[in-house]
Structure 1
Amino acid sequence: MSLRLLITDAMWDRIEPLMPADPVRGRRWADHRRTLGAIAWKYRTCSPWRDLPRELGPFQTARKRLIRWAVDGTWERILAAILSAADSADDIGWTVSVDSTVCCAHQHAAGARKKGAPGRSEPDDHALGRSRGGLSTKVHLASDSHARPLALHVTAGQAGDAPAFEAVMAGIRVPRSGLGGPRTRPTTVLADRAYSSRAIRAHLRRRAIRAVIPQPADQIRHRLRQGQAGGRPPGFDPEAPKERNTVERCIARLKQWRGLAMRTDKLALAHEAALHLAAILIWTRS
């Protein structure tokens, strides 16, 4: 897979102004475009770092840059800037869908230290959990109405969807090009029955966000058994969930990257950074 096929000239024109400037002292950065192409090639093909093609530069440079920019928040800043430009062009669909997907973990993903390194936002369990399917990581995400990722959050594979909902919603922060703080509130949130809880509905109601979440059968039965004490059923538009395919399409886009569909990184920090890079390229390609 050539560099040209990973990052086109049009995509690079949007990304280049957002890249970190060369340090005032010390060695200059290696070619940013080649480094991004190297990281994208590794995760698109799910190849070992040492198999990186020679024309994409030393694998040590790409691997260190992935971690360094994850630690200092560079990947998130680039994605936020691209989202800000899209919002200025009225190119973000604010009917947001939330869901999660499980990524199986390769045996090479295990074995990191039990506690994250100091100074890094690395969870102690490295977002790895064991279930019937073995080691896995769960990616929680929110997508806009055009199947593009707005926020990403990783947890252990056995973790539930509902407890991560507020973390995903907190990740939606689109800076405005003019005055005012970042936009954090979509107009509507679509989710499946796994997110049907009083806490989630109350959270959305406090923020004046319309919730389109169906109730599972056991919650309906429990409410009916309580009679009048059970209260009224939550409002639900049966046509709106048809738009929830956007988050499934967004997940499919991310999992076209084989290194994201199957995790090989020991650090959750690296896996989440690769997810952010994939999101950056999805937005710039569109």
Structure 2
Amino acid sequence: MGRGDLTNAEWVRLEPHLPSCGLRGGRWSDHRQVVNGILFRVRTGIPWRDLPERYGSWKTVYERHRLWSADGTWDRILRAIQVDTDLAGRFDWSMVGVDSTTCRAHQHAAGARKTTPRSPEGRTTPRNHRPDEGLGRSRGGLTCKIHLAGEGGCRPLALLVTPGQSGDAPPFTEVLDRIRVARPGGGHPRTRPDHVSGDKAYSSRRNRSHLRRRQIRHTIPEPKDQRANRKRRGSKGGRPTGFDRDLCKRRNEVERTINRLKHHRAVATRNDKRAYVLHGAITTAAIRLWLRE
């Protein structure tokens, strides 16, 4: 077993959730060897062609990662491991934090398909990356943004990749809607945490209304400009937002979750052209965090 490879205890938890056959009914080559190769690349961020020989053909490792990223296999594995953890009583629903982090895109990740919009006068504007590729320009150049919901144990629950110049508040509801932990006994999956925390970037009337409709308590500080505008409007501005400083201190849990994810260099720096392959790499890193509990 090489450094960073799956331990026997981690493999016992992961193996039951892996696909048993390929696209045409044939059997896969050794799952453990290939998964260790994928984890090695996600942890180190090296080019796929530079994978050590002990993991077999680099193309086999890459193609399996790309396929499982495209068909949602990594997402299903993550949800299955979350179910196992919830069943064992090691799931912290008391506080779910939402936050985002920006990842600089390597020059090799800038080759995804672009669009060339035209103005009403027929003039072409500079080529922009497709929004669904999660790549955009901000002050740091080409970047992408990872929006994340993490539970109290500093483990990722749900994630979303958007272009780097996008704001934090608009994807807030979509990230929360991606939380789905099935119940082993049947019934609807659990999608509603006990409490949600976020920083000032998530303070908006839309987000607070969404949380109230779902009857989710929340701790989100109100910026000074929003507070002043609410007071200026008087009774039409609505009631003051509730805020608990002690609960707000737990916001560090989601920040620590992001730090643990970005220990994986393929997450800290985007090297993949396609957004779904990057999403698969982040999900793979999240699975490793759940296996290491």
TM-score band, normalised by shorter chain: over 0.9
CA distance in 2: counterparts of 1:26 and 1:13, whole angstroms:
24
Measure the CA separation in 1 of the matches of 2:207 and 2:6.
39
Aligned to 1:228: 235
**Distance in 2 separating the partners of 1:26 and 1:208:** 46
Q: Separation in 2 of the partners of 1:25 and 1:256?
A: 36
Q: Hey, what's the Cα distance between the residues in 2 that align with 1:25 and 1:267? A: 25
Q: Which residue of 1 aligns with 2:208?
A: 201
Partner Cα separation in structure 2 for residue 165 and residue 69 of structure 1: 26
Measured in 2, the distance between the counterparts of 1:255 and 1:213 equals 24
- Which TM-score applies when normalising by structure 2? 0.92
Alpha carbons 1:114, 1:124 under 8 Å: kept: no
* SS of residue paired to 1:166: helix
Task: Name the structure 2 match of 1:182.
Answer: 189
Partners of 1:277 and 1:174 lie apart in 2 by 17
Give the aligned partner of residue 42 of structure 1: 41
How much identity, in percent, do the aligned residues show?
53
Structure 2, unaligned runs of 5 or more:
116-129
The amino acid that maps onto 2:91 is I
- Which AA in structure 1 matches 2:142? L
CA distance 1:26–1:146, shift in 2 (3 Å): closer
Aligned 8 A contact 1:40 1:278 in 2: yes
Pairwise CA distance, 1:45: 0.8
The aligned residue for residue 104 of structure 2 is 104
Counterpart AA for 1:212: T
Residue 82 of structure 2 is aligned to residue 75 of structure 1: no
Structure 2: which amino acid aligns with 1:241?
C
Distance 1:284 1:107 in 2: 32
Q: Report if the CA contact (8 A) 2:149-2:159 is conserved.
A: yes
Aligned to 1:89: 88
Gaps of 5+ in 1: 116-122
Instruction: State how far apart, in whole Å, the 2-side matches of 1:190 and 1:25 are.
Output: 45
1:243 maps to which residue? Answer: 250
For residues 124 and 57 of structure 1, what CA distance do their matches in structure 2 show?
A: 35
Post-superposition CA distance 1:31-66 (Å, at most 9, x none): 111111111111211111111000111111111111
Give 2:104's aligned amino acid. C
Contact residue 197 and residue 248 of structure 2 kept, 8 A: yes
Q: CA deviation at 1:87?
A: 1.0
Q: Contact 1:140–1:152 at 8 Å: present in 2 too?
A: yes
Give me the CA root mean square deviation.
1.6
SS at match of 2:114: coil
Alpha-carbon distance between aligned partners in 2 of 1:187 and 1:132, rounded to the nearest angstrom = 36
The secondary structure found in structure 1 opposite 2:157 is strand
State the AA in 1 paired with 2:102: V
Aligned residues: 279
Give the aligned partner of residue 283 of structure 1. Answer: 290
The answer to whether the Cα contact below 8 Å between 1:114 and 1:125 also exists between their aligned partners in 2 is no
Q: How does 1:263-278 map to 2 (within 5 A)?
A: 263-278=270-285
